[in-house]
Structure 1
């Protein structure tokens, strides 16, 4: 411990940042010299599932002892103790908070989270914010005052209002999972992030509502500098109808990832082709197929119409990855299409659906390995 104590303060802070916040706070009992080291760490992380609390009648936890937790609070609920600990950490914290993470079960009635975000907005130093909730938490007005953000991760949050604000001018990474928002508010949010390079929207039409006059072309226009794009395939339901071409292209896009891909849905293939056609510098394509095609009535059993896209050439695509690959004709023909249109392709990894038997796996592998390919050096892995 003496060796660690002699390290420069910056190094000690970096070490403490690698620990969960609760563990970092516990270092305050090591010695008088260590009592306040943790109050200057720039990274705070709180996870309800990992948060340790004492039980009724037991000795107070180290964290509770550190904060002089009143004895009558030992019977408080786990959530109340978590919020109490967060409040104490935030109050005692002395330096800037650059990264803040909160993972818990929450809903619109959690006014304690509102108070935390108000405090963070007043400090206005947070660059990386991760709010991972279960329960549809409604973001307060103070959230839109976090103008220093560069990375934002929201899970199960609701945005139903955006006050007049200057936007997230420095935001480069935006991850939205199960976000509850209308299409117009989503467009407004994206337009407020002019430097956005990485975007993930892993929500579908069930949580993104308000379908109206906004088109997929309007969506693409909001992403002029996007380099990494990850989408739930069902998002196309928010932008009907789908055109064959877009007036603008995503010239900077290098990585495209699609989840919940239903190949037999009549709009999935046109949507995929539309994005590929609009990404002339695409380098990696990853698809995660959902094999249960019976969930949709709009299904078809025909083949992928490769002849309808003679002008598409994926000149920069080097890697293709498909998970949960099945035996549908559309899936097989799509891979053949990529192989035939990608002269610089180097790596193809296809993970087959678990319910496909061994004989069928061998047959699929044989067909794909014998398919014409534009690249002479591509390595194909099927399994």
Structure 2
């Protein structure tokens, strides 16, 4: 056994390495094994005699895609993964399980009853962070997940569930992420409004199953990050986009905003009057997906957001078009972009087709003296000559920042 030599004055003492490892406080050991992949954490039992069962102190269980991919790469047939192994692992753990992640890939088939038993067990011990993502089908969860009042972080994907009749919300919840989640006998807004401490909220679903009331979201005074599919908004077709963005501007601490415009059919704005700029003073990151630059309504959305976000640092825009060949432009962004004021943009990512409005937008972004990089994906452009013309236009634009780079991919 290797010896560890410690010095105190002129004397020295040799301590077996096994004793040093074995004498660590339990909180230090837990911190170490929680940072390891699950399979490696269990293998720590070979370090020393005293470490044989230290893996039972695990407080985080992460069965993510990498975990299952590791098993698949080992050559084992895990298409029908034995969930009983997870059940036995849960029963052996001595510490408080604070984080449980189950990200089930397509090549794994788990018994739904096993999954439900794990949820019931975890809720009884007071789990604080719970993630369940089901890739290949909609998974029905037990209502017990709504009885776990100690939850601080909840992420669900491709699931269906319904709260208990006595559900009064999650008083400690800080982040809620729902992707293609259907909540039975309860609107999604009821879940949101009863989680007053929320700082991160993500609701994405391209099949509108749960209506979301924006008025309930703006009541979240602590909200810092919002990711929302606008097609889920309650009465979206009867709402003007200017009203939607005005309500969002009422979130006093919003720093990151991601909006998906897919399948959005807003009520047209009255007349041709442009919006009054909406204020997002704390916004630093903005992501806009499925923007049609040939649509007057969507152009107004882009202008309003950029005009009202003076401290914006990171911008991502993913363009999309209803028609293969875009119709003639109804309006031009040239005049609107000149009113943006002094932008603070540093990083920009665009996926565009090279319409004139898109070039006008890039021109305004280059006016930021802090700009470092604009990354442009041109996969929507099928013509090589169009890519060349876009590159030529970009080279002629003035850059306020001496270090600004434009990369056309």
Q: Compute the TM-score of the two structures, normalised by the length of structure 2.
A: 0.69
Say if 1:231 and 1:12 are closer, same or farther in 2 by CA, change over 3 A.
same
Say if 1:184 and 1:313 are closer, same or farther in 2 by CA, change over 3 A.
farther
Q: Secondary structure at the match of 2:253?
A: coil
Structure 2 partner of 1:382: 407
Please identify runs of 4+ aligned residues in structure 1 that moved more than 6 A: 106-109
Decide which of 115, 119, 122 is 1:120's aligned counterpart: 122
Structure 1 partner of 2:242: 244
Structure 1 partner of 2:393: 367
Larger radius of gyration: 2
Alpha carbons 2:159, 2:182 under 8 Å: kept: yes
Q: Secondary structure at the match of 2:68?
A: coil
Q: Is residue 324 of structure 1 aligned with residue 341 of structure 2?
A: no
Structure 1 partner of 2:178: 176
Alpha carbons 2:134, 2:159 under 8 Å: kept: yes
Give the Cα separation in 2 of the matches to 1:275 and 1:118: 43
Give the Cα separation in 2 of the matches to 1:188 and 1:138: 20
Say if 1:377 and 1:197 are closer, same or farther in 2 by CA, change over 3 A.
farther
Q: CA deviation at 1:24?
A: 1.8
| Structure 1 residues not aligned, in runs of 5+ | 62-75
Alpha carbons 2:351, 2:378 under 8 Å: kept: yes
Give the Cα separation in 2 of the matches to 1:350 and 1:169: 41
Q: Compute the TM-score of the two structures, normalised by the length of structure 1.
A: 0.74
Say if 1:364 and 1:310 are closer, same or farther in 2 by CA, change over 3 A.
closer
RMSD between aligned residues:
4.1
Identify which of structures 1 and 2 has the higher relative contact order when contacts are C-alpha pairs closer than 8 Å and 6+ apart.
Answer: 1
Structure 2 partner of 1:333: 360
CA deviation map 1:85-110 (0-9, x unaligned): 11111111111111111111589971
Q: Secondary structure at the match of 1:178?
A: strand
Alpha carbons 1:177, 1:201 under 8 Å: kept: yes
Say if 1:377 and 1:185 are closer, same or farther in 2 by CA, change over 3 A.
farther
What is the 5 A alignment of 1:1-383?
A: 2=18, 4-5=21-22, 7-28=24-45, 31-47=48-64, 49-50=68-69, 52=71, 79=80, 81=82, 83-104=83-104, 110-124=112-126, 126-134=127-135, 135-161=137-163, 163-181=165-183, 185-204=187-206, 206=207, 208-209=208-209, 217-218=214-215, 220-232=217-229, 239-240=236-237, 241-245=239-243, 246-247=246-247, 248-253=249-254, 254=283, 255-264=285-294, 267-273=297-303, 275-276=305-306, 282-290=312-320, 293-294=322-323, 300-302=327-329, 305-306=332-333, 313=340, 317-338=344-365, 345-354=370-379, 356=381, 360-368=386-394, 370-371=396-397, 379-383=404-408
Alpha carbons 2:144, 2:164 under 8 Å: kept: no
303-312 or 135-144, larger mean C-alpha shift: 303-312
Alpha carbons 2:310, 2:344 under 8 Å: kept: no
